[in-house]
Each structure stands twice: as structure tokens, then as C-alpha cells.
Chains A and B, each alone.
Chain A
Amino acid sequence: MFKQKKPAMQKKEALLCIPEKNRMVEETILESGDLILSYQSMYKPFFLKVRKFMRPGAKNTFRRKIQLDKLGVHVWSLIDGQKDVQEIIKNFAAFHTLNYREAEISVTLFIKSLGEKGLIGIREP
């Protein structure tokens, strides 16, 4: 009758998930070492209606760009479709001599924001 809600994932299970890059994302490295990720994004329904009204032949999508700083670039480079979130945190913490908890909070928040933008997908192990 009713669809049963999937139980929320435990922290331990979430850390074992494997992030994978979206193949449609284009990468541009800047001279400063920063990285620009550009990806296709859909207009919000309201704006799409306005665009279609103004220009009937207008596209439904546009290219969105985000710039990653050096720390973001490092996490991005660690996402290879093989390493799970925990391994990425450990690598990141060791490279920058960070405390594991500190690295865990910043890396998981960053991965979450990448996921929300559709730049990565998360695969369960």
C-alpha cells in the first residue's frame, strides 16, 4: 500500500560509499592552480517558462561553472571511482597534516555539495 521509507544511512556506512565523477563535467586548470568545473544545468521551471515566452527557440539548459581552490582541487583529484569517502579523508588528512576529524568534516561537506550540484554520484560499496 505505502512505500516504506528507506532507513537513513549510518555514518559508518556513508563513509564506505564511493564517489564517482560525472563524465559530463569539463575541467579547466587555471595558472593559479585553481580548477574550474563546468557542467550542464537545467533552468528552474519558472525561468524556463519566461525564457520560452521571450525566445521560443531558447535552450532548456545552460553551463554552470564553479571554481575550486587548492584544497578543493586535491579532494577532486582523489575522487577516482575507486577510493571510498573514508580513504579520501585519510589521504587528505595525511597530505595536509590535518587531524582526522577536521578533515572528515571538511571533506564530507565538500563531497555533499559536489553531489548536490550533480558533479559526482555516490555508489554504495
Chain B
Amino acid sequence: MSPKNKLPLKPLAWNGIVLKIPVTWEVESLDAGHMIIGDQGQAKTEIKWAEAPKKFILAKYLKKFISRSQKQLGIKIHEQATPESFSHLKAYFEFFFFSWESDTSTGDGTLIFCNHCKRLTMIRFFSKSSGLSKALQTSIIQSFDDHPEKNQTLWQVFGLNFPTPSHFKLQEFSFKPGRYGINFKYKKTKLDIFSWGPAEFLLSKQTLSEFAFQQFPQIIGFAKTGFCSHGSYLEWAFKKPRFKNAQMIPLLSHFALFNIFRICHDPEFNRIFGVMVESGKQFEHHIIKGSMLGDV
């Protein structure tokens, strides 16, 4: 193996899928079931995934997925034999290798069907235009997984690294410079993850508590403190009216939303992390304790 193939890899986890990519690669475009990963603006690989319908025949489903992908991406897909030397640690995956071509580029790829969660994933490498070696492509495919372990979905992107209970589904996300936010929902419970940075700058003229009040003016009361893996945190538990001035009507105060907000400054990463849990029933302490700012 040439030194080029021994690029150090880093984990990437998003909405159920987990894989390892070279450290210099970054996510260029992101959606709930799609991502483009590139290196300094040059696309290296595209990943697309979808849950299979409840009833399906794999061969027909694959054919449909391929034809839809060909139309969407403007490419032509040609089936290829699985390389003899290829193997994957997880037996529940089925691999279908292919090569693709468009008017401007060509490359290789694979379709991965998970017999466990019935998810179909397409990994398409921009092999020819970006000079990707076969060995690197193979190691990326071999690192692929799409199973939440211990009923937790892992999220590892743009320096964030946290698990969520797997029944919480992704609702919205935004990655703006200085402020990341990812929102999840399960039934009527909301879980929001935040990351702000650089913390050194944001906290140069105010305390962490003042910063929290600036971000969420609805916070009420005093904070309690504790320790999590990122350092010491501040936590507020407060009731929020469902709409403006609802607390003026006594009957409606029973229907307030129960909020817990935990915030922590991590000097090592130079970031401020925040977790907000909102529930219509009660204060969901167990969710916040199992979050990335959970107690140590």
C-alpha cells in the first residue's frame, strides 16, 4: 500500500449513518438523507440514503432506487462485480458495486443494503476527477455502519460529537459560523443541541450565565451547577407559557411547557455547548442526563 492510501481517517456520523473519512475532508453539503464530502471545495464523495418501504422486493427496490438516482444526479450507473478481496465486518450488509459516468465526470461507488434496518445507502466516489485510490475507497466503505448502538444515534460533524436517544428524529439543523443548532423531536418532546464559538471571544465581555440569558431571554430563575464531560455546567429548569401572556389566565398556566436548559463552556474546544429539552408533561431530567452535557 502506498503512503497516499494511509491517510489518517476521522469519524463522521449523521442521521443514522457512520463512516470514516480522511481528516482533511469536510462536509460540503448536508441534508437529512444526503451529503457531499469534499476536500478544499473539490467533491470527493456523495452519500445518499433512504429507508425502504414496509413491503418490498429487494431486486425491484434496488432497480427503482438506481433509476431514480440516475435521473436525480444526471448519471449513468453500470453494475460491477464485487471485488474478490472485499469483506465487511458486519454480516447484515449487502453490497452492490457499480461504476458511474456523467457528461463531466466518472467514478465508482457502492449500494449498501442493511438487512437489519432496511436502509439503502449509495456511496458515490468522484474517483477519476479527484484521483481517489481504490484502497481509500475500500477503507471508507468498510468503515460504514448505519446502526445505532445501545439505542443511541451518534452525531459527529463539524467538531460536534454527541449521541441522542434513537427514537428522537431530526427536525431541523443549521450550521452558521459561530452558531450551530440541531433540533430533534419525539412525540411532543423536543431536544435541541447548540454549539457556539469561539467561546474565548463570546465570553470576553460577559459571563456564561449572561450569555445564556442573551441567547434565551425566556430563561427564568437561578441556575444550578454540576459537572459534565465538557466541564462545569449551568442548568435552569423553568416553565414556559405556550403563548405570550398565557400565564395571565390561571387555567392556561396548567398547560405550560417544561424546559430544562443546560449550558457549558469547554475551554479545550473553545466552544460553548447547550442542550434544551422541552416537554409538555414534566421536566425530562433523564434526557438531559443522557445528553452530551450529562453528569459525570
Contacts and interface: CB of A to CB of B under 8 A. Distances in A.
Interface of A: 10-12, 15, 69-71, 86, 96-103, 105-106, 109
Contacts of A102: 158, 175, 177-178, 197
A99 B201 contact: no
B178 A97 contact: no
A69 B158 CA distance: 24
Nearest to A70: B201
Given A99-B158, A99-B159, A101-B26, A69 B271 contact: no
Contacts, number: 45
Contact of A97 (B42, B175, B204, B269): B269
B41 interface: yes
Contacts of A69: 201
Contacts of A97: 197-198, 268-271
B159 A71 contact: no
A69 to B, nearest CB: 7
A10 B41 CA distance: 9
Interface residues of B, number: 19
24 contacts: A10-B41, A12-B40, A12-B41, A12-B42, A15-B40, A15-B41, A70-B204, A96-B197, A96-B198, A96-B200, A97-B197, A97-B269, A97-B270, A98-B197, A98-B198, A101-B27, A101-B158, A101-B175, A102-B178, A102-B197, A103-B177, A105-B177, A106-B177, A106-B178
A97 B202 CA distance: 13
> What is the predominant secondary structure among interface residues of chain A facing chain B?
helix
Contacts of B269: 97
A103 B270 CA distance: 13
A6 B94 CA distance: 49
Residue of A97, A106, A109 with highest tally of chain B CB at under 10 A: A97
A96 B200 CA distance: 8
Nearest to A74: B201
A15 B39 CA distance: 13
Nearest to B200: A96
A105 to B, nearest CB: 5
Given A12-B40, A99-B159, 8 more contacts: A71-B198, A96-B201, A98-B198, A98-B270, A100-B26, A102-B158, A102-B175, A105-B177
B203 to A, nearest CB: 12
Contacts of B201: 69-71, 96
Contacts of A100: 26
Contacts of B158: 99, 101-102
Contacts of B200: 96
Interface string B194-214: 000110110010000000000
Q: Which of B42, B177, B270, B271 gathers most chain A CB within 10 Å?
A: B177
A103 B197 CA distance: 10
Contacts of B271: 97
A39 to B, nearest CB: 25
Interface string B262-278: 00000011110000000
